[in-house]
């Protein structure tokens, strides 16, 4: 546990979300140390949380856009846990994501498959499935696609 009772994983996730906010193209004001700390305080509590089996989407509304922090627990798979909510054959939400932790396998509808891990950035078009690889939760910051993620179609 780090100083102040915050785990190292929580610190990493908060730093990653702060980085996402710094880089978010929809941000309208120029970042200053004071505005970043205010933005960080906002990021500590999402504007909306969408729960689904073995995961959740935390949505932060900022600068006229939305940034999502998606958390998937071991055993999560889009086609099992979100597909019944979305009602589509595969995930139709395009994504632009920074992978904070865990390993996420992704299979595109054309059969292309790969695994993304911490530090990776992925740009996914519509038409894919994904699942957690291993026993570590997956956390991603999604700059594009979070607004409709895990919403009924």
8 Å CB contact between 106 and 70: no
Q: What is the secondary structure of 72-87 as a DSSP string?
A: E-TT-BHHHHTHHHH-
Q: Which domain holds residue 134?
A: 3-148
Is 79 inside a domain boundary? yes
Is 153 inside a domain boundary? no
Is 47 inside a domain boundary? yes
Is 51 inside a domain boundary? yes
Is 74 inside a domain boundary? yes
Is 139 inside a domain boundary? yes
Kindly tell me the sign of the dihedral angle through the C-alpha atoms of 152, 71, 94, 47: positive
Is 46 inside a domain boundary? yes
What pLDDT is stored for residue 12 in this prediction?
54
Q: pLDDT digit string (tens) for 20-49? A: 544 444 434 444 455 544 444 445 688 999
Q: pLDDT digit string (tens) for 59-89? A: 998 878 889 999 999 999 999 999 999 999 9
What pLDDT is stored for residue 78 in this prediction?
96
What pLDDT is stored for residue 43 in this prediction?
53
Taking CA atoms, 7 is separated from 14, 36, 44, 46, 106, in Å, by 11, 21, 14, 19, 28
Supply the CATH number for residue 14's domain.
2.60.120.10
The answer to pTM > 0.75 is no
Q: pLDDT digit string (tens) for 98-150? A: 999 999 999 999 999 999 999 999 999 999 999 999 999 999 999 987 776 77
Q: What domain count does the chain have?
A: 1
Is 67 inside a domain boundary? yes
């Amino acid at each position: 546990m780090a100083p102040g009772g915050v785990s190292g994983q929580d610190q990493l996730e908060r730093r990653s979300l702060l980085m996402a906010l710094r880089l978010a193209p929809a941000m309208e004001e120029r970042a200053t140390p004071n505005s970043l700390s205010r933005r960080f305080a906002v990021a500590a509590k999402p504007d909306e949380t969408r729960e689904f089996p073995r995961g959740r989407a935390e949505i932060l509304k900022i600068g006229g856009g939305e940034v999502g922090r998606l958390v998937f627990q071991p055993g999560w798979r889009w086609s099992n846990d979100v597909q019944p909510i979305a009602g589509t054959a595969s995930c139709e939400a395009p994504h632009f994501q920074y992978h904070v932790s865990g390993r996420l396998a992704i299979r595109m509808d054309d059969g292309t498959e790969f695994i993304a891990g911490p530090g990776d950035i992925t740009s996914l078009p519509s038409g894919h499935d994904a699942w957690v690889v291993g026993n570590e939760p997956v956390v991603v910051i999604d700059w594009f696609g979070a607004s409709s993620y895990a919403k009924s179609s």
